[in-house]
Structure 1
Amino acid sequence: MSRIAELWPEIVQALTETFAMLIVAIPLAVLIGTPLGIWLYSTSPRGLKPRPRIHRIVDTAVNTLRSFPFLILLIAIIPITRFIVGTTIGTAAVIVPLTINAIPYFARLVEQNVTQLGGGVVEAARAMGATRGQIVREVLLVEAKPAIVGSITITTVSFISYSAMAGLVGGGGIGDFAIRYGYYRYETVVMFFAIILMLVLVQAVQIIGARLVRSLDKRNA
């Protein structure tokens, strides 16, 4: 434990870098991915305003980005990353591919959340004379809110592991810390401590997310 105490300033810095990645990438994914997911649902054959050809193109693009291995994406968009943040190493550089990967990932989850509501709520809103905008704002987003919060939790947990992979290219964070001390220097105790920190972080996000979902779910009221 004396070694952990000695490295504590670096551990705190690594945690701060991990939080920085998530604090930027996840809100941007929610901000852009939510309307994108709603749009994917709306333009689908069973959506509010079906546009099969356009939907097929965007749907394919979302699937392609979502299934792209993160490390390959990180390397593939190096020119874009350099253009946006002026560097290709460090925490700021990792945030760019992390965000690009998170947006389609979250958009697909939102699309599924809204689709699972079924057509009944949409038809009921239409029968009452609601416009498409009102259906989206006052029906779909409201009814799907617990599921969307659950999707935010899933996305955050998934991208905690993605942020750890960024350590392979010097992206900072807990992953980078674990690789530098556990892999290159063979300090097994330090590596296991970093793993425990990651597990605690994941569990904390999962618990907070589950509680928020329960508080928003009308069925638990």
Structure 2
Amino acid sequence: MKYSIDTLCVQQNKEKRSTQPHVLPLYATSSFAMDNLEEGIEIFSGQRKGHVYGRYGNPTIDTVAAKIAAMESFGCDFEAAALFTSSGMSAISTLFLGLLKHGEALLTQGNLYGGTTELLLKILEPQGIEVVFQDLKKLDEVESLLKAKKNIRLIFGETPANPTMACVDLEALATLGKKYEVLTAVDNTFASPYLQRPL
């Protein structure tokens, strides 16, 4: 049977490929095929793991996310998960916009990465999210703010800070957060889980 150029363009490649590469392959596909309708229903309904569209993940992303989660939680007595985004700033904005709403406040340090500060002042504050800057090394002042400002929902630290390399006591901050039922998050870009594990 002779196919048209249209059919040739959309036809799946038929050659056999190795299924055991030595290095994790990069999945550049936008979508994934399913064997049958039932498989699709099970994957879309969450009854079965699988991939449907590159935006929602692929085997490369799943494997790397699992590795990062294992590194971040190394030595912990619980399992962690990781979520991939397209950049560090998209991860930070997802964190802030996912946790904070109008009328709530974020407690953070003044010496943050410039892009984070810009996000706080130009995106969060105009949406009615209060940003409270405080030297997070001064734990007595942090605690006073947590006592006084009941709308603080998140303590956000960056340690070591970019570009000053200033560090804060993450364990002490997390302890204060738990005491006042405030979430604590950290940008661990500089140290990485090899040198510092905030979890």
Do both share a fold (TM > 0.5)?
Answer: no
Q: Which has the higher helix share?
A: 1
Please give the TM-score of this superposition, normalised by the length of structure 1: 0.23
Q: Which has the higher strand share?
A: 2
Structure of larger gyration radius: 2
